[in-house]
Structure 1
Amino acid sequence: MSESIAYPPAGATARDRTHTLFAQTMWYVALTAGLFALGAYLGRDLVGGVGIVAFIAAFASLIGMQFAVRKSLNLTVGLLAAFGLLMGLATAPTLAYYASADPQALWQAGGATALFIGGFGAAGYATRRDLTAIARIGSWALVALVVFGIVLIFVQIPGGALIYSILGLVIFAGLTMVDFQRLRQSTDINSAPLMAASIFLDILNVFLFFLQLFSRREA
């Protein structure tokens, strides 16, 4: 890793450090996405139980990053890499199912996700309005969405899956804007792996919501 990227010169302006943070974070997002794709490929024949174990391990890696960031940047990046690979393994059975049953939905969801993240990310990065309130509302709304998803497992609600996906996209539109605004406002280079993990989770969740929508449309 280039020292000029990881550690800007001492005399660099706040704008320089922000631009460096943006570039570094996007590099980490790309790295995580690449390892996610590798994990999804390697785990394409895994059974669901292994995917659950991989998801728990990925969550543990994410928690570990919160502590490692205060001690070692290299350790934090290593945990981020493990997180991406494990998330790929965790979602591999789902992606493999869609690849065999409805491959067109995968491409449509991927394209829609790129436009969604690009649009709302740019809006969040450019806006001068404080999005702190959206962050609080989005966090609680996400908890409510998880509860709603659990209810759907046990209770048949007409159009429940469609409602769940649309609400999820609305919530992550706000959270994506918040994450990109934080990226513009911060100048702490060491926060790049954590920001990358947050943005990657935005991308992954949006992709999965779109995947549900497009697969339902084709049904």
Structure 2
Amino acid sequence: MANWPDPRTSSAGLGGSASATDVAFDAGLRSYMLSIYNYMASGVLVTGIVALLFAQSGLAYQILAGPGLLKFVIMFAPLVFVMVLSFGINRLQTSTAQMLYWAYAIVMGLSLASIFLVYTGESIATTFFATAAAFAGLSLYGYTTKRDLSAFGTFFIMGVVGILVASLINLFLQSSALMLAISILGVLIFAGLTAYDTQALKSQYSYVRGTDFMGKAVIMGALKLYLDFVNMFLFLLQLFGRRN
């Protein structure tokens, strides 16, 4: 993919037509990124509404705070959807990918209803808006910066793996100091991933533009930014959220 020609430079020798191509490319890029942001924001909104309604219904406490298989189904269902989308996106129809994305947003809402059992509504709302402001700033930086952030990709991926391993270890240790370190690192890593993923999605447009894959690329881009947002929100909530 890295050797594909950039549509903005392929017609550089055509004089005035190069400028028209640049304008068309930039307009398409803006539309492409706006579609990603719309899907991402809508997914977060659906997740938030489902989480709130599920928590207020009383079912969240009965299912998530009690014994039973359904609790684990709700907890791990989002991971299954992410894996299906990530590894099966090339074989899926665009409409199927869209359906799976919305289904993922719903089951994620069921899973995240547990935060209403732990933290006050005020601290959840405050942390959410703080995350939204931070996400907007970081994504804008990733979109506008001239600095190449691709070199940080491996570092961020290894950081995510490290957080997962440390979190599993802490299930047994129950160390508050380790949990604090995980939360701080989690915020920093997903803040970095927000800028990194935004720049990567912007660069990706050159390759998916005008292809059948473009619709699916929008869904996968929205999923990446959704995960960055939600994880940054959860780690910030662990750091600053007030418990019930």
The two structures share one fold, judged by TM-score above 0.5: yes
Structure 2 partner of 1:203: 229
Change (3 A) 1:132 1:111: same
Distance 2:90 2:35 in 1: 15
Question: In the TM superposition, what are the counterparts of 1:147-158 in structure 2 within 5 Å?
Answer: 147-157=165-175
Structure 2 partner of 1:6: none
Structure 2 partner of 1:16: 27
**2:161 equivalent to 1:143:** yes
Query: Which of 178-187 and 19-28 deviates more?
Result: 178-187
**Which one has a bigger Cα radius of gyration?**
2
Q: 1:35 aligns with which of 26, 31, 46?
A: 46
Deviation at 1:156, TM superposition (A): 4.6
Deviation digits for residues 74-113 of structure 1 (CA, Å, limit 9, x no counterpart): 1111110001001001111223332xxx222112211220
- The amino acid across from 1:81 in the alignment is W
Kept in 2: contact 1:135–1:174 (CA 8 A): no
Q: 2:70 aligns with which of 34, 50, 53?
A: 50
Q: 2:112 aligns with which of 57, 80, 91?
A: 91
Deviation at 1:38, TM superposition (A): 3.0
Deviation at 1:51, TM superposition (A): 4.2
- The amino acid across from 1:178 in the alignment is Y
Change (3 A) 1:135 1:215: same
Deviation at 1:30, TM superposition (A): 2.1
Question: In the TM superposition, what are the counterparts of 1:157-172 in structure 2 within 5 Å?
Answer: 157=175, 159-172=177-190
Between the two proteins, what is the percent identity of the paired residues? 27
Distance 2:196 2:180 in 1: 25
Change (3 A) 1:168 1:186: same
Runs of at least 5 residues in structure 1 that lack an aligned partner in the other structure: 1-10
Deviation at 1:212, TM superposition (A): 1.0
Distance 1:173 1:166 in 2: 11
Deviation at 1:149, TM superposition (A): 1.2
Q: 2:124 aligns with which of 96, 106, 124?
A: 106
Distance 2:170 2:92 in 1: 41
Distance 1:69 1:141 in 2: 27
Change (3 A) 1:96 1:51: same
- The DSSP-based 3-state class of the residue aligned with 1:134 is helix
Structure 2 partner of 1:64: 84
Q: Over the residues paired in the alignment, what is the CA RMSD in angstroms?
A: 2.1
TM-score, scaled relative to structure 2: 0.76
Deviation digits for residues 48-92 of structure 1 (CA, Å, limit 9, x no counterpart): 253431242222222222324554111111110001001001111
Change (3 A) 1:147 1:17: same
Structure 2 partner of 1:75: 96
Query: How many equivalent residue pairs?
Result: 205
